Amino acid sequence: MLELESKKLAYQHPDLKQLESKKEAAYFLHRQVSLPWIQRAALEGRQAGFVAVLIQWKSVLTKRQTVSLSADFLDQFGISRGVKLRSLKLLEKAGLIQLSKASGKSLKITLLPYPNKKNSIDP
């Protein structure tokens, strides 16, 4: 039988470096959803935080910065109209979203970047 010398090579798989860099990423759930935005929304309370995550999810799904949340959609998550409106007002006051309503149309929610000039100082 032939004996072979074993040698250790300094080899790093290229995918391992890619995994390390993903740990340092500043996004949450998706590359379009920033963790600081979600953290700021969570400061407004559980319900507002959950509504914020749904807004972000719908934005990623539709690939648009402006979305609407229908009553049927929110019913699937047990969110009433009142909770929706209170949460949206809190998120707007925090400078995370902008609300607009056209006559006879549903409320349009536009995502704003965080931090920005309006919301750069936390309460």
Model confidence at 25, pLDDT cuts 50, 70, 90, reads: low
Given a contact cutoff of 8 angstroms between Cβ atoms, the answer to whether 31 and 22 are in contact is no
Domain ranges of the chain: 27-111
d(C-alpha 29, C-alpha 43), whole Å: 18
pLDDT of residue 9: 63
Q: Which of 118, 103, 11, 96 is nearest to 49 (CA)?
A: 96
* pLDDT tens digits, one per residue of 41-78: 999 999 999 999 999 999 999 999 999 999 899 999 99
What is the C-alpha to C-alpha distance for residues 62 and 113, in angstroms, rounded to an integer? 18
Angstrom distance (rounded) from CA 46 to CA 87: 9
Q: Which pLDDT score is estimated for 43?
A: 95
Say how far apart CA 87 and CA 50 lie, in whole Å: 9
Q: Does domain 27-111 have CATH number 1.10.10.10?
A: yes
* Res 28: pLDDT: 60
The lowest-confidence range among 3-12, 48-57, 69-78, 104-113 is: 3-12
pLDDT tens digits, 28-39: 667 788 888 999
Q: Distance between CA 106 and CA 73 in Å, rounded?
A: 13
Q: What tokens does 15 get? A: 């995918």
- pLDDT range class, residue 89, cuts 50, 70, 90: very high
Q: What is the pLDDT of residue 26?
A: 54
Dist. CA 53–CA 30, nearest whole Å: 11
| pTM of structure | 0.71
Report yes or no: 106 and 68 within 8 Å, Cβ to Cβ.
Answer: yes
At 4, the pLDDT band (50, 70, 90 cuts) reads low
